[in-house]
Amino acid sequence: MAGLAPRVDYLAGFSFPVGGLAAGKPRVLRLGAEILLSTGRELVYVFDSGGRQLTAVYRFPGQVWHLEVLALRRMLFVLCAWSGVYCLSLDQAGRSVSQSERDEEDSEPPAPVIPVDPDACVLPDATLRAFTVLDGALVTLAQGTAQWKLQLFECPGPGQARPLGKTGEVELSASTPPAGGPGKPEAPRFLPVLCCVSPPGCGASHGLQRGPRGFVLEGALFGLLFGMDATLLESPVVLCGLPDGQLCCVILKTLVTCSSAPGDPKALVRTLHHLEEPVIFIGALRTEPLPEDGEDTRCDCLVALGHRGRTLAVKASRDGAGSPVPELREYCLPGPVLCAACGRGGRVYHSTPTSLCLVDLARGSAPWLGEEADVPAAGLGGLPSLLCPANLSICSVVTLTVSPRPPGGGTELLALSARGRLLTCHLEQSPEAPWPSRGTTMDTGRKIKDLLCSISTISERASSLRRAVEQRDQALTRLNEALNVSCALLSRREGPRPISCTTTTAWGRRELRDVLTATCLLESSGGPRLGRGWVLCVQVLPGARAPDPEAAGPAMTYTVPVDQLGPGGRREVTLALGPGEDGVLDLPVTVCCALFCSLQEALGGALAPSGSFGDASRDEDRPDTLPGPGGICLPLSEHTVDLLQGLRFPGLAVPPAQASGPSGPAPDPVDTFLEACCRPAGPEPPRATYLPPSMAAITVSAELLRAAWGGRFSGTSLSCATLQWLLAENASVDAVRARALSSIEGVAPDGTDVRLTVHEVAVADVCPTGPLQAAEIQVQSCSLASVCGVHGAVLRRMQRVVEEQAARGSSPPDLRMQHLHQTQASHEALLREVRMLRDQLCEEDGAGSRAATATERLLRVYRQLRSPGLLLL
């Protein structure tokens, strides 16, 4: 395989972003001794390969997406992102523009940076995505909302003042996702590819000549692909490779622009093939030697490469009866393909992040593999059934071009690597022949230089491989860790878990506003350590956990990376629950904590095929090769934050932040401004303060409470203990305990006052054995919403207590059934009324006077249900 190593020559280095150049937009072209190059940024460099120096740098107003040059007229055409096609003459532009401006951020170009005048824009159009130049015409491809539009213009000259005459257009039927919103769309990941092919007769006498990137196809192949009419007209054809994989062709001479006879896309555009992956390259080459010793220019094979390596080759052959038929083959080359080029002798060069490969469509294998290679022999003149790529040991080439006729024969490739290096790569015509051993000093010097160059490319490659191995090791370690953690958390269902998460709430002040914050504390009490790749996901769901999971509104998920949590380590996450900018805090909310290990994160770049270069290209390939957004999710805890935890007690004056009083959330300054603009400051809308305070009550038997408390609160009166138990998760519980309160006044998050009172009562007529000791919990507020919220929170606690008691199997006390029946009957009557009213409300859709009375009645029923409230035993 030693013969595979090409002679690599390093010409120059250009700046590149962190992570290397991304493929798709950089271009390199050869124009005689000059090399034109763009790296996908605003600059186009002109490099003199003889003198090995930059001769000019042009700065364009936008990112350069495509370059083409007309060699004879020395005209440069450039497609700028979101701006259009620029045209300038390479001879004039350098001289006419004063060489004043020096580029600061790019320190390397010694040549003057020539800013390109906006007037050089010959075709302003923000939707252009690709173009190609023929000698007499400019073909552009613009992206519409739902389709691509191919347009044909007369070829411009530099400094053209009038807009280009449009000579034809047609829409290609392909769907592309619409760009949403009035904002600027994102740069497309893949640009379409255009390629111009002509029939053999299309000579210099015709207006539409082939351009710099055009190919002349053999008559039979041309006719088979594009039809009899195109052949008879000897019309050039533009092939479009679209990012959705479609490969279609348009016969240029059939395009029209006449408004009274628009071209029918069905008749003008023909889809040749669908690669089902973005088309990266279209080209043509000669696989068979010409019978006469002529020029190697008539191609007999059309090639298209897709991003993931799917390759199409089409050739003309004849069937058994002698009729010409197209022979079409698909191959799979190693992907992802960054760029490709067609060389002479049936060779296709294509670059992947790890290597530059060469396939030979004439023979199927690389020429050096020779006879011993296990390649099935192709039919006579047909396409090989299998392609064996040969590795040229150059990695991450982002753009590639084959020099037309290098001095000294052989093949010369011009390549730009992701690290911004401009390389030439010489492949010998007959690699079997050893390098010339006639040792003149010049030869030796040359040889040493070549050797040094190849050492540098090999070392670049070796380091990339080493990095890939390291990444793989790390990924395995992380996977192992992840599995250990999962086992430890999932296997131990009872008892304390090695990793736990607790949630507490408190009021705080943030950005001039009082907010309720939840603090999740992640603790590791031994066991495995959490490494990179683990994140703590905190999900805030509206509503309490159990009752109605599907009625929940939008959930918010916060993910916090847990970076290295060893045994005994703790990590605290505080997040604001609200009130938000609208001043509303809807309690209860449920805070769910879970640990998540993303496989993508854990495996890192180890699965990406490019171990070798930067993040930009890896990001690009990720969707194709990585296992999607999958991962391991381990639920840790679930905590419901209700109104009892959200109450503030300014009367206790414990939190110092309450100094400003129970004001609502401070308004946004811009809101204030706009409000001020909208209406002259008027009186506040009257609050509903005059309404009688609503009340709800629950009575709980002391026995039930005591059983739930266990040994706690011993020595405290029942009423004080009940209040402390209710406010156990509130930050003010210490003050309540210290003052031994049985009644307390607080402020709900919306600013309304809430009063919580606990009385010790004796319930007389329930038990046959005598009066029952019980605690009556009263909730009182002028805001019905607050009453409901607090009442709901109390009820949820009671429900939990009752469930726990039932689980322990304790029996309820003796009850007088008659009383129970009575209660049930009265409540059922109320329930019926509620149902009726609700139906009535639904029918009327919330408007009208009847609805108002219905609402009134519902409210009354609610009050009857709540006070005197539920009795729990």
Partner 1 sequence: MSHQIPLSSSVPQVNCLDLWRAENDRLVRQAKVAQDSDLSLRRQQLAQDSLEGFRGLLHSLLGLPAAVLVLPLELTVICNFTTLRVSLAQGFTEDQAQDIQHGLERVLETQKQLGPRLEGGLMELWNSVLHVSSLPPELLPALHHLAGLQAALWLSTDRLGDLTLLLQTLNGSQSEASGDLLLLLKTWNPPAKASDDPLTLQDAQRLRDVLLTASAFRQGLQELTTGSLPRALSSLYEAASGLCPRPVLVQVYTALGTCLRKMGSPQRALLYLVAALKGESICGPPLLEASRLYRQLGNTAAELESLELLVEALNVIPSSEVPHFLIEVELLLPRPDPASPLHCGTLSQVKYLLASRCLQMGRAEDAVEHYLDLLALLLDGSEPKFSPPTCPPGPCMPEVFLEAAAALIQAGRAQDALTVCEELLSRTSSLLPKMPQPWKDARKGTKESPQCPSWVSATYLLQGQAWVQLGDQKQAISEFSRCLELLFRATPKDKEQGPASNCEQGYTSDVELQQLRAAALISRGLEWGASGQDTKALQDFLLSVQVYPGNGDASFHLLQTLKRLDRRDEATALWQRLEAQTKLPQENATWSLPLYLETCLSWIRPPDREALLEEFGTSLQEPCDL
Task: State which of positions 664-693 bind partner 1 (CB under 8 A).
Answer: 670-671, 673-675, 677-678
Backbone angles phi, psi at 41, to 5 degrees: -105, -155
Yes or no: say if 871 and 766 are a contact pair by the CB < 8 Å rule: yes
* HSE-up of residue 73 (Cα within 13 Å, Cβ side): 19
Q: How far is CA 5 from CA 208, 293, 412, in A?
A: 41, 30, 13
- Shortest CB 233 distance to partner 1, Å: 6
Beta-carbon contacts of residue 823 (< 8 Å; ≥ 6 apart): 871
Amino acid at 522: L
Yes or no: say if 8 and 457 are a contact pair by the CB < 8 Å rule: yes
Helix H segments across 492-606?
A: 599-603
Q: Which two tokens stand for residue 666?
A: 């401070």
Of the ranges 159-167, 493-501, 556-564, 772-780, which one interacts with partner 1 (CB under 8 A)? 159-167
Q: Among residues 55, 173, 176, 254, which is the contact residue for partner 1, using CB under 8 A?
A: 254
- Shortest CB 256 distance to partner 1, Å: 4
d(C-alpha 217, C-alpha 200), whole Å = 6
Query: Which CB atom, from 141 or from 337, has the smaller least distance to partner 1?
Result: 141
Of the ranges 255-263, 418-426, 640-648, 805-813, which one interacts with partner 1 (CB under 8 A)? 255-263
* Contact positions with partner 1 (CB under 8 A) in 326-385: 326
Q: Is 219 in the site for partner 1 (CB under 8 A)?
A: yes
Q: How far is CA 270 from CA 181, 602, 819, in A?
A: 33, 46, 86
Q: Is 317 in the site for partner 1 (CB under 8 A)?
A: no
Q: Is 261 in the site for partner 1 (CB under 8 A)?
A: yes
Q: Among residues 13, 124, 561, 664, which is the contact residue for partner 1, using CB under 8 A?
A: 124
Amino acid at 459: S
Q: Is 264 in the site for partner 1 (CB under 8 A)?
A: yes
Query: Which CB atom, from 65 or from 507, has the smaller least distance to partner 1?
Result: 65
Q: Among residues 110, 157, 163, 664, which is the contact residue for partner 1, using CB under 8 A?
A: 163
Q: Is 291 in the site for partner 1 (CB under 8 A)?
A: no
Beta-carbon contacts of residue 375 (< 8 Å; ≥ 6 apart): 363, 364, 365, 369, 384, 386, 388
Helices 702-709 & 784-808, crossing angle to 10 degrees? Answer: 70
Query: Which CB atom, from 270 or from 857, has the smaller least distance to partner 1?
Result: 270
Q: Is 554 in the site for partner 1 (CB under 8 A)?
A: no
d(C-alpha 193, C-alpha 23), whole Å = 13
Cα 749 from chain centroid?
A: 37
Query: Which CB atom, from 18 or from 677, has the smaller least distance to partner 1?
Result: 677
Of the ranges 25-33, 174-182, 360-368, 858-866, which one interacts with partner 1 (CB under 8 A)? 174-182
Q: Is 257 in the site for partner 1 (CB under 8 A)?
A: yes
Q: Among residues 29, 152, 366, 603, which is the contact residue for partner 1, using CB under 8 A?
A: 152
d(C-alpha 153, C-alpha 764), whole Å = 98
d(C-alpha 308, C-alpha 826), whole Å = 73
**Helix, strand and coil percent figures for the chain, each rounded to 5:** 25, 35, 40
Q: Is 245 in the site for partner 1 (CB under 8 A)?
A: no
Of the ranges 181-189, 595-603, 680-688, 766-774, which one interacts with partner 1 (CB under 8 A)? 181-189
Q: Is 167 in the site for partner 1 (CB under 8 A)?
A: yes
Yes or no: say if 122 and 85 are a contact pair by the CB < 8 Å rule: yes
> How many residues sit in the footprint of partner 1 (CB under 8 A)?
75
Q: Is 288 in the site for partner 1 (CB under 8 A)?
A: no
Of the ranges 139-147, 353-361, 586-594, 696-704, which one interacts with partner 1 (CB under 8 A)? 139-147
Query: Which CB atom, from 126 or from 834, has the smaller least distance to partner 1?
Result: 126
Of the ranges 137-145, 500-508, 521-529, 620-628, which one interacts with partner 1 (CB under 8 A)? 137-145
Q: Among residues 119, 288, 473, 856, which is the contact residue for partner 1, using CB under 8 A?
A: 119
Q: Which two tokens stand for residue 454?
A: 């190849």
Q: Is 35 in the site for partner 1 (CB under 8 A)?
A: no
Q: Is 269 in the site for partner 1 (CB under 8 A)?
A: no
Q: How far is CA 435 from CA 1, 145, 442, 443, 603, in A?
A: 15, 56, 14, 10, 44
- Shortest CB 86 distance to partner 1, Å: 12
- Shortest CB 690 distance to partner 1, Å: 25
- Shortest CB 326 distance to partner 1, Å: 7
Of the ranges 140-148, 378-386, 649-657, 721-729, which one interacts with partner 1 (CB under 8 A)? 140-148
